[in-house]
Each structure stands twice: as C-alpha cells, then as structure tokens.
A and B are shown apart, each in its own frame.
Chain A
C-alpha cells in the first residue's frame, strides 16, 4: 500500500520563527489533507489540497502531485501552533479512506 512519510518527526521553534513541514507519498493520490492535532487531541482541518497552493493566514500549503510531496509552511509561529501536524492522503480506491503519516510534533517556545 501507499507510504506516507512526514519530516521532521520533531521540531522545536522559538516564537516568531518560520518552519516548513514535508509530506512525501509513494503513489498517486486523489486527495491530500493537512491537520493540526492540538494538545487536547482535536484534529483540526488546515488544508484540503490535492494539488496547487493555498494560504490561510500565517499558514500555507503546496502540493506537487506529480512529484508526490506536499509542504506546509508556518510563518511567525505562535505558542498556540504547538501540537502534531498530520498529512493524510486518499488513494482513489472505492473507500476514500484517509491514510495518515506519522506526524510532525511541533513545540513553539515563548
């Protein structure tokens, strides 16, 4: 089955710094989503981005489907950005289930 790899696994930033999180996938995908899991465990939708570039405030994402990767950019990080960031892909079989990467754990220090 498809492999979804995220890097780095852990990241520590000072408040105000910028960062780039990467998601590589081993096969063609129909759909790609980025999520933020906050310290309370909630999974928050960040982007639905099977291809192209999207921006939402300090966050932006780019998916290059032909090269099988996606990037999540966080600018001017804040302590509330701490948590785990997951990338999840849907491969186009009949189920449309999401296959998750193992996540990037981000800690933003004040």
Chain B
C-alpha cells in the first residue's frame, strides 16, 4: 500500500458525460501528479499540483481540468468524454515539488461507452 488513495476504482460512463476522479496523497506529501495510461499512448503525465497551485501541465486535453484543495486532496475532472478517453488514470504524490520519489495510487479505470 503506497498510502495514496484514489476513488472510484472503476467508472463506466457514456460519451459526452463528465466525471470527477479523486486522489488523496500520502500524509505529508505536498505534490500531486496525474498520469494517464492508455493502450496506444502508454503512461503519460497530465498535470502537477504543488501545495494547492498548478506547477506544470503535460499532455492534458482542454476538456480535462484539475485542482488541489487546501487539505491537499486533488480532483481530476474529465468532460465531454470520448471513447478514446478510456484509460487507467493514476495519481501520484511526492514530498515536495522537487525530484523526490513519487508514489502511485491504485488508479481509476475509466471506460467510456
């Protein structure tokens, strides 16, 4: 158990819908990262938050957004869902925004039908 929690574990929804994925980092970690794992793109970085502020963006679609709350949990919002958004979404956390070891949550498996 990494100490990073993600909910829900599985999500099945229809095209055009909007979903919210939730992540709680390890106790004491200030930085949260979101990654997407799809069959064709592999594991890719989406976005990073550090202590409530956005730190960096990767290959994140405009239909996707995220935030980190004062209690340091984070939410990833996916809207206008398409079939191609079906993937495993991971949250990771690290102690600071620097080059510390990242620990991954169990992931949320999203299926868009």
Interface residues of A, Cβ cutoff 8 Å to B: 30-31, 33, 35, 41-45, 48, 50, 86, 88, 90, 92-100, 102-103
Interface residues of B, Cβ cutoff 8 Å to A: 2, 31, 33, 35, 42-45, 48, 55-56, 58, 88, 90, 92, 94, 97-104, 106-107, 109
Q: How far is the CA of A96 from the CA of B2 in the complex (A)?
A: 19
Determine if A41 and B107 form an interchain contact, defined as CB atoms under 8 angstroms apart: yes
Determine if B104 and A96 form an interchain contact, defined as CB atoms under 8 angstroms apart: no
Inter-chain residue pair count (beta carbon < 8 A): 61
Determine if A102 and B42 form an interchain contact, defined as CB atoms under 8 angstroms apart: yes
Determine if B106 and A97 form an interchain contact, defined as CB atoms under 8 angstroms apart: no
* Residues in A neighbouring B31, C-beta threshold 8 A: 96
Determine if B33 and A97 form an interchain contact, defined as CB atoms under 8 angstroms apart: yes
Q: Which of A45, A48, A98 has the most CB of B within 10 A?
A: A98
* Residues in A neighbouring B90, C-beta threshold 8 A: 43
Shortest CB-to-CB span from A7 to chain B, Å, is 15
Determine if A45 and B109 form an interchain contact, defined as CB atoms under 8 angstroms apart: no
Determine if B56 and A94 form an interchain contact, defined as CB atoms under 8 angstroms apart: yes
Shortest CB-to-CB span from B110 to chain A, Å, is 12
Determine if B104 and A45 form an interchain contact, defined as CB atoms under 8 angstroms apart: yes
* Residues in B neighbouring A86, C-beta threshold 8 A: 43
Q: List 20 A-B contacts (CB under 8 A).
A: A31-B101, A33-B101, A35-B104, A42-B104, A43-B90, A95-B45, A95-B48, A95-B58, A96-B94, A96-B97, A96-B99, A97-B33, A97-B48, A97-B56, A97-B58, A98-B92, A98-B102, A100-B43, A102-B42, A103-B42
